[in-house]
Amino acid sequence: AKADGRGTYCFFRDEMARSVEARRILELDLRRALANDEFELYYQPLVNLKTGRITTCEALLRWNHPMRGTVSPIDIIPVAEEMGLIVDLGRWILRRACMECMRWPDGVSVAVNFSSQQFHQRDVIDEVHYALQASGLPAERLEIEITESSLMRNTQWTLDALQQLRSAGVRIALDDFGTGYSSLSYLHNFPLQKVKIDRSFLVGIETHRPLTLLRGVARLSAELGMSVVVEGVETNEQLELIGADGTVTEAQGYLFSRPVPASRIRELLTASHAR
Ligand code: C2E
Ligand code: CA
Ligand code: CA
Ligand code: CA
Protein backbone atom coordinates (compact mmCIF):
# COMPACT_ATOMS: atom_id res chain seq x y z
CA ALA A 1 0.00 0.00 0.00
CA LYS A 2 2.87 2.28 0.90
CA ALA A 3 4.55 1.71 -2.41
CA ASP A 4 1.25 2.34 -4.20
CA GLY A 5 0.81 5.55 -2.29
CA ARG A 6 4.22 6.77 -3.25
CA GLY A 7 3.68 5.73 -6.83
CA THR A 8 0.44 7.68 -6.94
CA TYR A 9 2.07 10.68 -5.36
CA CYS A 10 4.94 10.65 -7.85
CA PHE A 11 2.50 10.29 -10.69
CA PHE A 12 0.49 13.31 -9.52
CA ARG A 13 3.57 15.40 -8.97
CA ASP A 14 4.82 14.65 -12.48
CA GLU A 15 1.41 15.45 -13.93
CA MET A 16 1.29 18.73 -12.05
CA ALA A 17 4.79 19.66 -13.10
CA ARG A 18 3.87 18.84 -16.66
CA SER A 19 0.69 20.88 -16.63
CA VAL A 20 2.33 23.87 -14.94
CA GLU A 21 5.08 23.62 -17.50
CA ALA A 22 2.56 23.16 -20.32
CA ARG A 23 0.68 26.18 -19.10
CA ARG A 24 3.83 28.32 -18.96
CA ILE A 25 4.67 27.29 -22.51
CA LEU A 26 1.16 28.11 -23.66
CA GLU A 27 1.40 31.58 -22.11
CA LEU A 28 4.72 32.35 -23.76
CA ASP A 29 3.34 30.95 -26.99
CA LEU A 30 0.25 33.17 -26.87
CA ARG A 31 2.30 36.35 -26.50
CA ARG A 32 4.54 35.29 -29.34
CA ALA A 33 1.56 34.33 -31.52
CA LEU A 34 -0.01 37.78 -31.24
CA ALA A 35 3.26 39.39 -32.26
CA ASN A 36 3.77 36.85 -35.09
CA ASP A 37 0.29 37.20 -36.54
CA GLU A 38 -0.62 33.54 -36.01
CA PHE A 39 -4.24 34.30 -35.13
CA GLU A 40 -6.93 34.24 -37.74
CA LEU A 41 -10.65 34.95 -37.75
CA TYR A 42 -13.09 32.51 -39.28
CA TYR A 43 -16.62 33.61 -40.05
CA GLN A 44 -19.94 31.81 -39.76
CA PRO A 45 -23.14 33.16 -41.36
CA LEU A 46 -26.44 33.91 -39.63
CA VAL A 47 -29.29 33.44 -42.07
CA ASN A 48 -32.62 35.30 -42.06
CA LEU A 49 -35.32 32.63 -42.11
CA LYS A 50 -37.79 34.68 -44.16
CA THR A 51 -35.43 35.87 -46.91
CA GLY A 52 -32.84 33.09 -46.79
CA ARG A 53 -30.16 35.74 -46.92
CA ILE A 54 -27.06 36.13 -44.79
CA THR A 55 -27.61 39.05 -42.40
CA THR A 56 -24.53 38.78 -40.19
CA CYS A 57 -21.31 36.80 -39.97
CA GLU A 58 -19.90 35.86 -36.57
CA ALA A 59 -16.13 36.17 -36.15
CA LEU A 60 -14.60 33.09 -34.49
CA LEU A 61 -10.98 33.01 -33.37
CA ARG A 62 -8.52 30.41 -34.68
CA TRP A 63 -4.86 29.99 -33.85
CA ASN A 64 -2.63 28.47 -36.49
CA HIS A 65 0.06 27.10 -34.23
CA PRO A 66 3.31 26.28 -36.05
CA MET A 67 3.64 22.92 -34.22
CA ARG A 68 0.22 22.08 -32.85
CA GLY A 69 -1.94 22.96 -35.83
CA THR A 70 -5.25 24.76 -35.27
CA VAL A 71 -5.98 25.53 -31.62
CA SER A 72 -9.60 26.02 -30.46
CA PRO A 73 -10.73 29.33 -28.95
CA ILE A 74 -12.04 27.32 -25.99
CA ASP A 75 -8.39 26.69 -25.07
CA ILE A 76 -7.17 30.20 -25.90
CA ILE A 77 -9.67 32.63 -24.37
CA PRO A 78 -9.57 31.48 -20.70
CA VAL A 79 -5.75 31.47 -20.67
CA ALA A 80 -5.61 34.86 -22.39
CA GLU A 81 -8.01 36.17 -19.72
CA GLU A 82 -5.89 34.88 -16.85
CA MET A 83 -2.74 36.28 -18.43
CA GLY A 84 -4.34 39.67 -18.98
CA LEU A 85 -3.65 39.22 -22.69
CA ILE A 86 -7.37 39.32 -23.50
CA VAL A 87 -7.28 43.11 -23.82
CA ASP A 88 -4.67 43.06 -26.58
CA LEU A 89 -6.11 39.96 -28.20
CA GLY A 90 -9.65 41.33 -27.99
CA ARG A 91 -8.56 44.59 -29.56
CA TRP A 92 -6.91 42.71 -32.42
CA ILE A 93 -10.08 40.61 -32.96
CA LEU A 94 -12.42 43.62 -32.93
CA ARG A 95 -10.33 45.68 -35.34
CA ARG A 96 -9.73 42.79 -37.72
CA ALA A 97 -13.44 41.89 -37.76
CA CYS A 98 -14.50 45.50 -38.48
CA MET A 99 -11.98 45.79 -41.30
CA GLU A 100 -13.13 42.51 -42.84
CA CYS A 101 -16.79 43.55 -42.68
CA MET A 102 -15.96 46.62 -44.79
CA ARG A 103 -15.26 44.21 -47.67
CA TRP A 104 -18.75 42.66 -47.50
CA PRO A 105 -21.99 43.75 -49.17
CA ASP A 106 -23.55 46.82 -47.49
CA GLY A 107 -26.36 45.12 -45.61
CA VAL A 108 -24.18 42.51 -43.91
CA SER A 109 -23.06 42.96 -40.29
CA VAL A 110 -20.26 41.40 -38.30
CA ALA A 111 -20.73 39.86 -34.85
CA VAL A 112 -17.80 39.91 -32.43
CA ASN A 113 -17.61 37.90 -29.19
CA PHE A 114 -16.57 39.82 -26.08
CA SER A 115 -15.48 37.80 -23.07
CA SER A 116 -16.66 39.10 -19.72
CA GLN A 117 -13.22 40.46 -18.88
CA GLN A 118 -12.95 42.21 -22.22
CA PHE A 119 -16.39 43.77 -21.82
CA HIS A 120 -15.68 44.95 -18.28
CA GLN A 121 -12.59 46.99 -19.19
CA ARG A 122 -12.90 50.62 -18.24
CA ASP A 123 -12.25 51.88 -21.78
CA VAL A 124 -14.37 49.35 -23.67
CA ILE A 125 -16.51 52.10 -25.24
CA ASP A 126 -13.39 53.88 -26.54
CA GLU A 127 -12.08 50.59 -27.95
CA VAL A 128 -15.30 50.12 -29.89
CA HIS A 129 -15.33 53.71 -31.18
CA TYR A 130 -11.71 53.43 -32.20
CA ALA A 131 -12.25 50.16 -34.11
CA LEU A 132 -15.20 51.70 -35.97
CA GLN A 133 -13.30 54.87 -36.75
CA ALA A 134 -10.12 53.09 -37.86
CA SER A 135 -12.03 50.75 -40.19
CA GLY A 136 -14.70 53.20 -41.35
CA LEU A 137 -17.40 50.65 -40.50
CA PRO A 138 -20.80 52.18 -39.64
CA ALA A 139 -21.80 51.30 -36.07
CA GLU A 140 -25.05 49.76 -37.37
CA ARG A 141 -23.00 46.96 -38.92
CA LEU A 142 -21.34 45.90 -35.66
CA GLU A 143 -22.94 43.47 -33.28
CA ILE A 144 -21.30 42.60 -29.96
CA GLU A 145 -22.03 39.20 -28.43
CA ILE A 146 -21.86 39.01 -24.66
CA THR A 147 -22.90 36.22 -22.33
CA GLU A 148 -24.95 36.26 -19.17
CA SER A 149 -21.75 36.24 -17.11
CA SER A 150 -21.10 39.80 -18.38
CA LEU A 151 -24.48 40.92 -17.05
CA MET A 152 -23.98 39.42 -13.60
CA ARG A 153 -21.32 41.78 -12.31
CA ASN A 154 -21.24 45.52 -11.74
CA THR A 155 -24.83 46.06 -12.83
CA GLN A 156 -24.97 49.86 -12.99
CA TRP A 157 -21.72 50.10 -14.93
CA THR A 158 -22.93 47.36 -17.29
CA LEU A 159 -26.22 49.15 -17.87
CA ASP A 160 -24.40 52.41 -18.66
CA ALA A 161 -21.98 50.71 -21.04
CA LEU A 162 -24.80 48.93 -22.88
CA GLN A 163 -26.78 52.17 -23.17
CA GLN A 164 -23.76 54.01 -24.55
CA LEU A 165 -23.18 51.30 -27.13
CA ARG A 166 -26.83 51.37 -28.10
CA SER A 167 -26.89 55.14 -28.53
CA ALA A 168 -23.78 54.81 -30.69
CA GLY A 169 -25.79 52.44 -32.92
CA VAL A 170 -24.01 49.18 -32.05
CA ARG A 171 -26.26 46.16 -31.43
CA ILE A 172 -25.84 43.86 -28.46
CA ALA A 173 -26.65 40.16 -28.63
CA LEU A 174 -26.99 37.91 -25.60
CA ASP A 175 -25.05 34.77 -26.53
CA ASP A 176 -25.61 31.18 -25.34
CA PHE A 177 -28.96 32.09 -23.82
CA GLY A 178 -30.38 29.29 -21.72
CA THR A 179 -27.07 27.99 -20.40
CA GLY A 180 -25.40 28.80 -17.12
CA TYR A 181 -27.05 31.34 -14.88
CA SER A 182 -29.93 32.17 -17.17
CA SER A 183 -32.34 34.60 -15.74
CA LEU A 184 -35.32 35.88 -17.61
CA SER A 185 -34.87 39.20 -15.81
CA TYR A 186 -31.79 39.91 -17.96
CA LEU A 187 -34.03 40.08 -20.99
CA HIS A 188 -35.96 43.11 -19.78
CA ASN A 189 -33.44 44.72 -17.43
CA PHE A 190 -30.77 45.34 -20.04
CA PRO A 191 -30.97 47.02 -23.46
CA LEU A 192 -30.37 44.00 -25.69
CA GLN A 193 -31.34 43.79 -29.35
CA LYS A 194 -30.84 40.11 -29.96
CA VAL A 195 -30.99 36.82 -28.13
CA LYS A 196 -29.04 33.81 -29.33
CA ILE A 197 -30.65 30.66 -28.04
CA ASP A 198 -28.02 28.07 -27.24
CA ARG A 199 -27.83 24.96 -29.35
CA SER A 200 -28.47 22.75 -26.30
CA PHE A 201 -32.17 23.63 -26.85
CA LEU A 202 -32.05 21.66 -30.08
CA VAL A 203 -31.10 18.42 -28.38
CA GLY A 204 -34.11 16.14 -28.63
CA ILE A 205 -36.18 18.86 -30.31
CA GLU A 206 -37.99 16.21 -32.32
CA THR A 207 -39.75 15.30 -29.10
CA HIS A 208 -42.25 17.69 -27.63
CA ARG A 209 -40.66 19.24 -24.53
CA PRO A 210 -37.52 21.04 -25.74
CA LEU A 211 -39.48 22.56 -28.60
CA THR A 212 -42.05 24.00 -26.19
CA LEU A 213 -39.22 25.46 -24.12
CA LEU A 214 -37.45 26.93 -27.16
CA ARG A 215 -40.66 28.45 -28.49
CA GLY A 216 -41.47 29.93 -25.08
CA VAL A 217 -38.08 31.64 -24.82
CA ALA A 218 -38.28 32.78 -28.45
CA ARG A 219 -41.78 34.31 -28.04
CA LEU A 220 -40.85 36.05 -24.82
CA SER A 221 -37.74 37.57 -26.44
CA ALA A 222 -39.69 38.63 -29.52
CA GLU A 223 -42.41 40.25 -27.40
CA LEU A 224 -39.72 42.22 -25.58
CA GLY A 225 -38.67 43.57 -28.99
CA MET A 226 -35.57 41.49 -29.55
CA SER A 227 -34.68 39.46 -32.58
CA VAL A 228 -34.19 35.79 -31.95
CA VAL A 229 -31.43 33.56 -33.27
CA VAL A 230 -31.18 29.81 -32.84
CA GLU A 231 -27.61 28.52 -32.81
CA GLY A 232 -26.29 25.13 -33.86
CA VAL A 233 -28.89 24.19 -36.47
CA GLU A 234 -27.57 21.06 -38.17
CA THR A 235 -30.57 19.41 -39.86
CA ASN A 236 -33.48 20.41 -42.05
CA GLU A 237 -35.83 18.85 -39.54
CA GLN A 238 -34.55 21.20 -36.82
CA LEU A 239 -34.84 24.15 -39.19
CA GLU A 240 -38.47 23.33 -40.01
CA LEU A 241 -39.37 22.97 -36.35
CA ILE A 242 -37.77 26.23 -35.23
CA GLY A 243 -39.10 28.16 -38.21
CA ALA A 244 -42.66 26.89 -38.09
CA ASP A 245 -44.27 29.60 -35.96
CA GLY A 246 -42.38 32.56 -37.43
CA THR A 247 -40.94 33.82 -34.12
CA VAL A 248 -37.31 32.92 -34.76
CA THR A 249 -35.73 35.55 -37.02
CA GLU A 250 -32.36 34.00 -37.82
CA ALA A 251 -30.56 30.69 -37.61
CA GLN A 252 -26.91 29.71 -37.53
CA GLY A 253 -25.29 26.31 -37.78
CA TYR A 254 -23.53 23.68 -39.84
CA LEU A 255 -26.70 23.25 -41.95
CA PHE A 256 -25.91 26.62 -43.57
CA SER A 257 -22.13 26.71 -43.21
CA ARG A 258 -19.35 25.84 -40.86
CA PRO A 259 -17.10 28.73 -39.81
CA VAL A 260 -14.87 29.48 -42.82
CA PRO A 261 -11.83 31.67 -43.56
CA ALA A 262 -12.29 35.31 -44.65
CA SER A 263 -11.77 34.62 -48.36
CA ARG A 264 -14.43 31.89 -48.35
CA ILE A 265 -17.00 34.01 -46.50
CA ARG A 266 -16.62 36.67 -49.19
CA GLU A 267 -17.51 34.05 -51.81
CA LEU A 268 -20.54 32.92 -49.80
CA LEU A 269 -21.71 36.52 -49.37
CA THR A 270 -21.34 37.27 -53.05
CA ALA A 271 -23.47 34.23 -53.87
CA SER A 272 -26.06 35.03 -51.15
CA HIS A 273 -26.43 38.65 -52.25
CA ALA A 274 -26.43 38.03 -55.99
CA ARG A 275 -29.77 36.21 -55.73
P1 C2E B 1 -19.93 30.66 -29.45
O2 C2E B 1 -19.76 32.14 -29.44
O3 C2E B 1 -21.20 30.12 -28.89
O4 C2E B 1 -19.73 30.23 -30.96
C5 C2E B 1 -20.41 29.16 -31.56
C6 C2E B 1 -19.58 27.90 -31.55
O7 C2E B 1 -20.39 26.82 -32.01
C8 C2E B 1 -18.39 27.95 -32.51
O9 C2E B 1 -17.34 27.15 -31.96
C10 C2E B 1 -18.95 27.30 -33.75
O11 C2E B 1 -17.96 26.75 -34.59
C12 C2E B 1 -19.83 26.23 -33.16
N13 C2E B 1 -20.93 25.85 -34.05
C14 C2E B 1 -21.53 26.62 -34.97
N15 C2E B 1 -22.53 25.93 -35.60
C16 C2E B 1 -22.55 24.70 -35.05
C17 C2E B 1 -23.35 23.53 -35.28
O18 C2E B 1 -24.25 23.48 -36.12
N19 C2E B 1 -23.07 22.43 -34.51
C20 C2E B 1 -22.07 22.44 -33.58
N21 C2E B 1 -21.86 21.34 -32.88
N22 C2E B 1 -21.30 23.55 -33.33
C23 C2E B 1 -21.54 24.66 -34.06
P24 C2E B 1 -15.85 27.69 -31.86
O25 C2E B 1 -15.49 28.49 -33.07
O26 C2E B 1 -14.99 26.53 -31.48
O27 C2E B 1 -15.92 28.70 -30.64
C28 C2E B 1 -16.19 28.24 -29.36
C29 C2E B 1 -16.39 29.37 -28.39
O30 C2E B 1 -15.18 30.10 -28.19
C31 C2E B 1 -17.40 30.41 -28.87
O32 C2E B 1 -18.72 29.96 -28.64
C33 C2E B 1 -17.02 31.60 -28.02
O34 C2E B 1 -17.55 31.47 -26.72
C35 C2E B 1 -15.50 31.43 -27.94
N36 C2E B 1 -14.89 32.32 -28.96
C37 C2E B 1 -14.64 32.06 -30.26
N38 C2E B 1 -14.07 33.12 -30.88
C39 C2E B 1 -13.98 34.09 -29.93
C40 C2E B 1 -13.49 35.45 -29.92
O41 C2E B 1 -13.06 36.01 -30.93
N42 C2E B 1 -13.54 36.12 -28.73
C43 C2E B 1 -14.06 35.56 -27.59
N44 C2E B 1 -14.08 36.29 -26.47
N45 C2E B 1 -14.54 34.30 -27.57
C46 C2E B 1 -14.50 33.58 -28.72
CA1 CA C 1 -20.95 33.81 -30.05
CA1 CA D 1 -23.23 30.90 -28.77
CA1 CA E 1 -21.01 28.70 -26.78
Give the residue whose CA is nearest to atom 25 of ligand 1. Answer: 60
Check: CB of residue 129 under 8 Å from CB of residue 91.
Answer: no
Mean pLDDT of 101-106: 97
Nearest atom (ligand 1) to Cα of 145: 2
Strand 54-65 to strand 39-48: parallel, antiparallel, or no bridges (unpaired)?
A: antiparallel
pLDDT score of 7 more than 80: no
Q: For residue 50, give every residue at least 6 positions away whose Cβ sits within 8 Å of its Cβ, in sequence order, or none.
A: 249
Beta bridge partners of 65: 69
Pocket test for ligand 1, best of 58, 64, 98, 113 (most atoms within 8 A of CB): 113
3-state DSSP call for residue 109?
strand
Quote the ligand 1 centre to 111 CA distance (angstroms).
12
pLDDT, tens digit (0-9, with 9 covering 90-100), for 223-258: 999 999 999 999 999 999 999 889 999 999 999 999
Residue 1 in this model has a pLDDT that exceeds 70: no
Judge residue 208's burial from the number of C-beta atoms within 10 Å of its C-beta, 0-12 exposed, 13-18 middle, 19 or more buried. Answer: exposed
The rounded mean pLDDT for the chain is 90
Q: What is the DSSP letter of 136?
A: T
**Quick one: pLDDT at residue 244?**
87
The H or E element that residue 267 is part of is: helix 262-274
pLDDT at 179: 85
Question: How close is the Cα of 275 to the center of ligand 1, in Å?
Answer: 28
The finding on whether 72 has its CB within 6 A of some atom of ligand 1 is yes
Going from the Cα of 14 to the center of ligand 4, the distance in angstroms, rounded, reads 33
Average pLDDT (96-121) is 96
Ligand that comes closest to the CA of residue 44: 1
Distances (CA, A) of 268 to 44, 159, 249: 10, 36, 20
Quote the pLDDT of residue 6: 46
- Residue 173 to residue 171: CA distance in whole angstroms: 7
Question: Is the pLDDT score of 13 beyond 70?
Answer: no
Q: What is the pLDDT of residue 20?
A: 81
Query: Residue 12 above 60 pLDDT?
Result: no
> What's phi and psi for 116, nearest 5 deg?
-60, -45
Quick: pLDDT tens for 44-67: 999 999 999 999 999 999 999 988
Range with the poorest average pLDDT among 5-19, 46-60, 137-151: 5-19
State pLDDT tens for residues 172-226: 999 999 887 777 888 889 999 999 999 998 988 877 677 888 999 999 999 999 9
**What DSSP state is assigned to residue 258?**
-
Closest residue to atom 42 of ligand 1, CA basis: 113
| pTM of the shown model | 0.92
Confidence of residue 144 (pLDDT cuts 50, 70, 90): very high
Residue-wise pLDDT for 109-139, tens only, equals 999 999 999 999 999 999 999 999 999 999 9
4 confidence band (pLDDT: 50, 70, 90): very low
ipTM over 0.95: yes
Query: Which ligand 1 atom sits nearest the alpha carbon of residue 231?
Result: 15
Q: How far is the C-alpha of 19 from the C-alpha of 38, rounded, in Å? A: 23
3-state secondary structure of 178: coil
